[in-house]
Amino acid sequence: MLKKLKKPTISKNHKKRSKDRSEFIKDGNYITEFNKDRKENGKENRINTIDILRGFSIMLMIIAHVGNYWLIPSDRWAVALFFLVVNVQGTNGFTYVAGMAFGYAWKRNQNFWKINQKEKHQNTKNRTRPLKHTIILLGLSVIFNIFAAFFRKDSLWFEYIWYWNILQTISVSRLLGELIMRWSKYIRGAFAVALIFSGSFLIRWIAPNMNPPDLVSPISAENLSIRQLIYLIFYNPLYSNGIITFFPYFIVGTIFGEFIYTYQKITSFHITAENQPYKRKLYFSCSYGIGVILFSFGILFGLQTVPNDYGWHLLDQINLHPAIEWKGLPLFLIANTWQWQLYSIGFEILFTTSLLSQIDFLNFKRMNTSKRKRKISIWHLWRNYGRYSLSIYFWHYIFLFMPWFQTKFPATWIGIPLLFFLVIISGFVKLFSTKKGRKMSIEYWISRIH
């Protein structure tokens, strides 16, 4: 008599891999995949593009600050030309990347909160952690402003108590982000566009000649106009990072952060649907298309030249060069104009999409380790700068105020001290990444707050 053949067994792991993402969520195995995606080989799986963009932005800020502090007055044309070229990726890019990281983390944690509702204590703990980090960042910006006001020697020192430095702009944007993240990405996008154009009209009313309004000292209800009050609250000073001008960058960053999470979710899980490659191509095509449209519109509508630039005085500094005599600057190169906002946001989207497609999304496709390292090693310096950007921001200001860094240099020699300064900063970044030196970084102490 023939023996009855046994039914071939299918391993549990194979069954799990063949399930759809919805089935992962139903039986709770999605939590395992979620934690596996957050940590790979015992280390947190970070989005390298976010760190690279943040590091690139902080390095541009360092170069601009060093040139502003160390160049002799007659050679300020060099830092003015440098700023004119890189203002597409400076503090505005830093704000955009902050929004991208915020949007990605919000979407990821929101998905985890929905699945892990049983662990209520951990759920509440994870919800309050981003808010605690935002409050700490706001406190650091207040401390920074107090020290800046202390070193001011003129009668307008009170302006620096409420000064829109990049830390204050990002921390306030994160607080507002707690509210707008409950909106859909389409409503947020429409709100960012409305804020760009309405902010442009508001700033033209505050500064009709594109010059900062004259302030009065001391502040009192009798001699402070509504125009000056709005200027102090939202724009002080015009050549800094006013919240109405820079908040659209944060909003667009949150939308792109959601895009990263959605793409990662499509590629990371074992989904065998036939339309997934089509969706991935669609995401990239839409991203590149939006970036090209914004970038082109900003340039086309911003070709008109104007003699003033909202208090930056770039034209005056550029004309210090004996061979340059410009009458004006195009609007798309002047901060606080809607042409510049469209132009720079378009550039940010194109640059981010290119980096994501060449670096991070290769990780999401489960490439082998050797290829992944070879791709990322080129950007290793920028990535480490981005991971410790907050510490770099404070340390580089401390170094600039040291007595031995007060020497002035001509433009022909500025490259030598600048290279020396970057080597020092890179040494500190290397120290921050070690086990003993990480306690010197601000990021380490913030990460310990739960």
- The CA-CA-CA angle for residues 131, 390, 127, to 5°, reads 15
Amino acid in position 26: K
Number of structural domains the chain divides into: 1
Residue 30 CA to residue 73 CA, distance in Å, equals: 60
Q: Which domain holds residue 304?
A: 41-447
Top pLDDT among 249 and 444 is at 249
**Residue 331, in any domain of the structure:** yes
pLDDT band for position 107 (cuts 50, 70, 90): confident
Residue 94 falls inside a structural domain: yes
Say if 427 falls within a structural domain.
yes
Contacts 24+ apart (CB under 8 A), 76-84: 76/317, 76/320, 77/317, 77/318, 77/319, 77/320, 77/321, 77/324, 77/411, 78/411, 78/414, 79/317, 80/314, 80/317, 80/318, 80/320, 81/318, 83/312, 83/314, 84/314, 84/318, 84/329, 84/333
Asked if residue 255 belongs to a domain, the reply is yes
Do the bridges between strand 43-44 and strand 39-40 make them parallel or antiparallel, or are there none, so unpaired? antiparallel
- HSE of 68, CA atoms in CB hemisphere, 13 A: 15
What is the C-alpha to C-alpha distance for residues 297 and 341, in angstroms, rounded to an integer? 10
pLDDT at 2 over 60: no
Mean pLDDT of the chain: 77
Instruction: Find the mean pLDDT for residues 249-267.
Output: 83
The pLDDT confidence band at residue 277, using thresholds 50, 70 and 90, is low
The per-residue pLDDT for 345 is 94
pTM of the model: 0.82
Contact between 66 and 421 under an 8 Å Cβ cutoff? The reply is yes
What pLDDT is attached to residue 266? 58
Tens-digit pLDDT profile for residues 294-342? 999 999 999 998 887 777 788 888 988 888 888 889 999 988 899 999 9
Domain presence at residue 24: no
pLDDT at residue 255 in the model: 92
Q: Is residue 394 part of a domain?
A: yes
Tell whether 20 is covered by a domain.
Answer: no
pLDDT at 4 over 50: no
The per-residue pLDDT for 163 is 84
Note whether residue 22 is domain-resident: no
